[in-house]
Amino acid sequence: MHLRRTIALLAALLLWLPLTLAACSGGSGSSGFDAAPQSENAAITQALDQQRCVTHENLQICPVGPQPANSAHAPHVGTGLDGATFVACTSTAGSSACSFVLPFTPDGFAPTTAFGVAVRTVSPDGPWQIAGTALANGASGAPEFDVPVSVEAPSNAPSPSGHVQVAILAFLQAPSSLPGHFEDLSDSGADFAFVTNELSVQFAGPPAAD
Amino acid sequence: MAAVAPSRKGIKDVFYETRVLMGREYTVRRFAKEVLGDSIDAVMLSYIEKGKRFPSEALVRRLAALRSQDPHPLLALLWRDRLLHAFGKELRRVLHAPRAVAGVEDAELAVRVSQAIAALPDDGGWIPVRQWRAAFRPAPRRGTARATPQARAAHDTITSQVEDTLRQQGLVEIRAGKARRRGRHFVAKDVEARQALAMEFCALFAKGLLDKLALAEEDTGTYLRNHYVNIAPARLPEFQKRLDAALRALAEEYATEASAHTRFLNVLVTSTPF
């Protein structure tokens, strides 16, 4: 009798739980007057064309280079590719990939800010891939980074060249983990993304053996 | 329990429902003469019920006495409606709005959009479209058995407008009779949407302020506070981003399915430097 009652109570509980869980599936939302572009690509284009930071989906997208025009004292990132339209990429022997080193210097960030580098092929656009670990050089008050970036040569390219775009990601609070690739920069969890122009990749042969 | 779209009652609705709930025999003329003691003529009362004129405070107090209730909540409704009306007039100049839109109905589209987004589960789960539409469809005025054909047509228009707006912004997906959210943040882009959203924001702020000033003794459930800080301008985007993230996390934690036992909480936030 006791067992039967217990089973009945458990059965009632199992019936009740999904209903309560369903009843708890509420929604929320927000509204505003943000002057944000509809797509992330549009935001990237706007940031590069107008040389200013653009907010998109809680991510500040800024051009690499000196302080943007609309943000005095704003954090910014200088790279060896400011204003560049091509990058020399050294092929790896026996591989369709090539690599280059991206130096960058952030300024105006809190000391606890973490940085990462993402690269994607463009035209057509591929997903963003996280490049190598950002290795810090320089003094703690003036950090400098050198990041090895690997690019896969397009298999159907008529000639050894392609186009890529690089983004330096800034995380105000270091993430516990980072996805290896993502469709949009806003999916990375970064607070800032400093993007380069679309860069023509000039594939160069592997360095000659000594 | 079926979800009920929350109402945005104005003082005109209180006048209308008071008369209608007294019985069908109380026409506008009879109500003005016999119940309100000829303190107002029938034509003016008709304007008040339609929101084309505001009642005097004395008339509102008279109505409160008739309803055997404290006049302060009704006066707060009147003051809020008058604030919104004045704000709406200035807003049309600011936005160069091409057409005149009546009083507090200006906010209708924005209010329904908010309710429509909140009616979709945060986890992106599918719900029947009929259930979703019922959550943000305007309810008939209290005291009417059912909506008139004109009111139903107007409600259908608003419902279609809300659905189209959310689809265009990629915030909702509708497929095979079910709906789910694709995003949670509505951005007012065209003049009509910006006007509606501005009126909604003004209504929210006016209600909050009047709850604290005029209804201080009552448990209105309103929270109103100003936190202030000296801040480096370069850190403003970071501060506002973290504020938004914290509020979003709170909203998602406390969100529950709408029912007759829930309230629709609006958290209006502005962070602005001087």
User: Within an 8 Å CB–CB cutoff, is residue B119 touching chain A?
Assistant: yes
A31 vs B: CB within 8 A: yes
Distance CA B190, CA B195 (A): 9
Which chain B residues are Cβ-neighbours of A194 within 8 angstroms?
Answer: none
Q: Which domains can be identified in chain A, with CATH numbers?
A: 40-204 (2.60.40.2550)
| DSSP secondary structure letters along B182-208 | S--EEE--SHHHHHHHHHHHHHHHHHH
Q: Does A58 touch chain B (CB under 8 A)?
A: yes
Taking an 8 Å cut-off on Cβ atoms, the answer to whether A26 and B257 are in contact is: yes
For B117, the 3-state DSSP assignment is helix
Q: Do B188 and A72 touch (CB under 8 A)?
A: no
Tell whether the model's pLDDT for residue A135 goes beyond 70: no
* Residue A82 distance to chain B (closest CA, Å): 22
pTM score, whole prediction: 0.60
> What are the φ/ψ torsions at residue A31 (nearest 5 degrees)?
-145, 155
Is A112 an 8 Å CB contact of chain B? no
pLDDT in tens, chain B (274 residues): 444 444 578 999 999 999 999 998 999 999 999 999 888 899 999 999 999 999 999 999 999 999 999 999 999 999 989 988 888 888 877 777 544 434 435 677 888 899 999 999 888 889 999 999 988 887 666 666 566 777 777 778 888 888 988 888 878 889 999 999 887 888 887 888 888 888 889 888 988 998 898 888 888 999 999 999 999 887 887 888 889 889 988 998 999 888 889 999 999 999 988 8
Nearest Cβ partner of A31 from B114, B245, B259? Answer: B114
Residues contacting residue A121 through CB under 8 Å, at least 6 positions apart: A151, A152, A154, A162, A163, A164
Q: Where are the beta strands (DSSP E) in chain B?
A: 127-128, 172-175, 178-181, 185-187
Q: Which of A19, A24, A30, A59 should one mutate to test binding to chain B, selecting the residue with the greatest count of B CBs within 10 A?
A: A30
The CA angle B138-B161-B121, to the nearest 5 degrees, is: 70
